[in-house]
A and B are shown apart, each in its own frame.
Chain A
């Protein structure tokens, strides 16, 4: 990640001078306060995130996007805790997209993992300045003062509020050596703070991108070619223009960058409904282009062929062929998983207002700096002439990391010289996404007489994410391999091979990314091996996970087999693994390490008239230090439902290049009547914080499939289960 900019003493003072009355140590506001001031080029450390007013009110800046991940609460509560601030005096402002904040890309389950220490320092620095200010005012030693719940307190008992120290604090230099709190004194970190936005969510006053309004704002819908990267041959707008409220119809260009607009025909109207109706009334002849041949059934046959022949070896140790020929038993399986779509409840949308030399945007984006880059490049404006405001996101799941929809709004606003909100229909969202990859995987393993795994071959083919950045890329590489190649199994003879798979749609990352197919195949195959070895899957997995790691490894960010085995044992214990279950129930388990976190789940199922019912999911996560327990538990609950949805229903298919699904009727989600009881345990840890948003997903689908096998003796190796009419 890029660094949050460092501050010099000079820019620190200069920045303070920008504000009236408030102690702002670096600020998002500066862009609006003084566009010509050179503070923009300067840096704002140590506290780009803190604004304390003389009345004691405290504004903390969230630099990452809020999409249900709880980040506006977790990151700011870390600052507040270190500051000894009163959480009731805190309000949170969302940062614009600007490189001074460092990496703002809210994906990869990285926000707390990357920013925990930095946010602690932001808070600690502010606390230390306030202590210095009080000591100066009282003419006492700093060491005789401490911060406590929005006051600085002297050892003789006198106290002064944070707000009353603002004027003196402005004159005090930031400390060189930052002293962090003792974790035993944490007030917010590791507790259960409610979301700072929860009241807005339940009263309907939360402003998502879709809710943002400007005076005289227009609404726009876009007809895009059903086939990825197809283009407009010709169009007839006569009927569209007859719809009351429709004001303009015109073609928009494709921007050929990874996050550029797809292009198509735009309908601008006085309200969203008219824009949607106008879009439906368009008659368009498309040039489908080279992706018009995409047929996902044939494509899966090709992928499967590619994994049934030797691939490109990307990792090998020992000699798998020798192991296979010397073994007592060889097991082979093939797994097929389809494309998935993100389906956030809030469709992609953006408000843009392009003026002659500047542009301001309001958008639900996970990646405001990428949005800034795309819009700036499209308009040819200077960096500081494009402002990306980040609204709340009605779900993201990776879709809103790709700001193609932001560029669309800029294109249309520039054309109509007015503010406009581009709104995707649900059908647009389903049919023009950046899809989770489609994959075929072949696995082969050998067992000795005792049921030990002596050889392991994992061969897979899927169009890689890299294809979105380089259309010629048709093999996975790097981290799209490691979730399989670094599987922490104690197997001597081991090989990873990859097969060819050219992309026919835009491939993107979706919550948990390649850990979904890899976590699935590895956990289902392991269960198959346990069965073939006539062993209990829990014992089999624990044996496969090998030797315990050192105590030092267990406290660091280094992979620890002990921690992985621990979550598995705990999940099994919590679920009553091996104990009697109600008649007709069975359990399955899965364990997976991703985003540096350790997760295991046990799923309990039954079947009624051939239909699978999930009764309970027990998940255990070890994600190091926890900032907000409520958020971690909520993310594990959500991951269980997300995992169930993809296991039950998740399937995007293409015919003649066009996506066949359109809305929640044919791209289904799990609903409340299917939702099981979900129990979550968080492992207490002093290790550095690791990922939370994604690592709960990969274990769910394999645990379900393993439970169904236990119950019925039938092994379902492809998803979704709706294809087998099991749900």
Chain B
């Protein structure tokens, strides 16, 4: 039995220690917000936070996350929630499938950089593919989130 802390909640699961977190979250815990896109860390749809580090859950075994804090798109962190508001404001999603991974990547960026430039956004977000092509709106929504944060203060 393995214990994982996901979105501040403890889960005991019967999973092989080398099972990637992606499948433990989706198939064992029923948290399907985290997506399978490529299985090789090339598209970012599976991104989650492990102790605030942005992580490809398709490549990371369950055993590597034991005793750590896992945050998925279903979690509620301050930056993620503001980004979600901005995503809605700018009508970012088209099909929506990649957006959980995009939002986690953006959350990680804002956790470490409160006012990123376009280039810093490119660096942080280029591990995430959006086949629908919502990149321009994602960038605008990240900048808007920075504005929302300033207004909060």
**Are B122 and A345 touching (Cβ within 8 A)?**
no
Specify the main secondary structure of chain B where it touches its partner: loop
Instruction: Among B43, B133, B136, find the residue whose CB has the most chain A CB atoms closer than 10 A.
Output: B133
**Are B94 and A204 touching (Cβ within 8 A)?**
no
Q: Give min CB distance, B8 to chain A, whole Å.
A: 16
**What residues of chain B lie closer than 8 Å to A207, measured between beta carbons?**
32
**Are B93 and A345 touching (Cβ within 8 A)?**
no
Contact with A along B45-65 (1 / 0, CB 8 A): 100000000000000000000
A204's partner among B33, B88, B123, B130 (CB-CB below 8 A) is B33
Whose C-beta in chain B lies nearest to the C-beta of A194?
Answer: B91
Instruction: Among A208, A344, A664, find the residue whose CB has the most chain B CB atoms closer than 10 A.
Output: A664
**What residues of chain A lie closer than 8 Å to B33, measured between beta carbons?**
203-205
Contact with A along B102-122 (1 / 0, CB 8 A): 010000000000000000011
**What residues of chain B lie closer than 8 Å to A192, measured between beta carbons?**
91
**Are B91 and A195 touching (Cβ within 8 A)?**
yes
Residue A425 CB within 8 A of the other chain: yes
Residue B19 CB within 8 A of the other chain: yes
Q: Bound state CA distance, A641 and B130, in angstroms?
A: 9
Residue A671 CB within 8 A of the other chain: yes
B88's partner among A199, A425, A640 (CB-CB below 8 A) is A199
Residue A588 CB within 8 A of the other chain: no
**What residues of chain B lie closer than 8 Å to A67, measured between beta carbons?**
95
Contact with B along A323-351 (1 / 0, CB 8 A): 00000000000000000000111110000
**Are A426 and B39 touching (Cβ within 8 A)?**
yes
**Are A345 and B40 touching (Cβ within 8 A)?**
no
**Are A197 and B96 touching (Cβ within 8 A)?**
yes
Known: A671-B126, A673-B126. A201 touches B96 (CB 8 A): yes
Residue A639 CB within 8 A of the other chain: yes
**What residues of chain B lie closer than 8 Å to A278, measured between beta carbons?**
none
Q: Give min CB distance, A99 to chain B, whole Å.
A: 26
Q: Bound state CA distance, A264 and B72, in angstroms?
A: 35
Known: A345-B37, A669-B129, A671-B129. A201 touches B93 (CB 8 A): yes
Q: Give min CB distance, A360 to chain B, whole Å.
A: 19
**Are A213 and B30 touching (Cβ within 8 A)?**
yes
Known: A203-B73, A671-B129, A678-B136. A664 touches B97 (CB 8 A): no
**Are A665 and B42 touching (Cβ within 8 A)?**
yes
**What residues of chain B lie closer than 8 Å to A486, measured between beta carbons?**
none
Residue A273 CB within 8 A of the other chain: yes
**Are A664 and B27 touching (Cβ within 8 A)?**
no
Q: How large is the interface on A (under 10, 10 to 19, 20 to 34, 35 or more residues)?
A: 35 or more
**Are B135 and A202 touching (Cβ within 8 A)?**
no
Residue B68 CB within 8 A of the other chain: no
Known: A210-B35, A273-B27. A395 touches B126 (CB 8 A): no
**Are B98 and A345 touching (Cβ within 8 A)?**
yes
**What residues of chain A lie closer than 8 Å to B22, measured between beta carbons?**
273
Instruction: Among B72, B135, B139, find the residue whose CB has the most chain A CB atoms closer than 10 A.
Output: B135
Contact with B along A195-230 (1 / 0, CB 8 A): 101111111111110110100000100000000000
Whose C-beta in chain B lies nearest to the C-beta of A640?
Answer: B133
Q: Bound state CA distance, A273 and B58, in angstroms?
A: 10
Residue A169 CB within 8 A of the other chain: no
Q: Bound state CA distance, A344 and B37, in angstroms?
A: 9
Known: A641-B133, A677-B136. A634 touches B94 (CB 8 A): yes
**What residues of chain A lie closer than 8 Å to B20, measured between beta carbons?**
273
Known: A195-B93, A197-B96, A392-B96. A345 touches B129 (CB 8 A): yes
Known: A203-B73, A634-B134, A673-B123. A344 touches B95 (CB 8 A): yes
Whose C-beta in chain A lies nearest to the C-beta of B38?
Answer: A426
Whose C-beta in chain B lies nearest to the C-beta of A344?
Answer: B131
Whose C-beta in chain A lies nearest to the C-beta of B33?
Answer: A204
Contact with B along A536-562 (1 / 0, CB 8 A): 000000000000000000000000000
**What residues of chain B lie closer than 8 Å to A211, measured between beta carbons?**
26, 32
Whose C-beta in chain A lies nearest to the C-beta of B32?
Answer: A211
**What residues of chain A lie closer than 8 Å to B125, measured between beta carbons?**
671-672
Whose C-beta in chain B lies nearest to the C-beta of A642?
Answer: B133
Residue A68 CB within 8 A of the other chain: yes
Within 8 A of B (CB), among A675-692: 675, 677-678
Q: List 25 A-B contacts (CB under 8 A).
A: A67-B95, A200-B96, A201-B99, A203-B73, A204-B34, A205-B74, A211-B26, A270-B27, A271-B19, A271-B23, A272-B27, A273-B23, A347-B37, A394-B96, A426-B37, A426-B39, A426-B40, A426-B43, A634-B132, A634-B134, A638-B94, A641-B130, A669-B129, A671-B135, A677-B136
Residues of B near any A CB (own CB < 8 A): 15-16, 19-20, 22-23, 26-28, 30-40, 42-43, 45, 72-74, 84, 87-88, 91-100, 103, 121-123, 125-139
Q: A202-B84, A634-B94 are in contact. List 4 more A-B contacts (CB 8 A).
A: A206-B96, A213-B30, A634-B137, A669-B129
- Nearest first, the 4 closest Cβ-Cβ pairs linking A and B are A204-B33, A641-B133, A394-B97, A201-B96
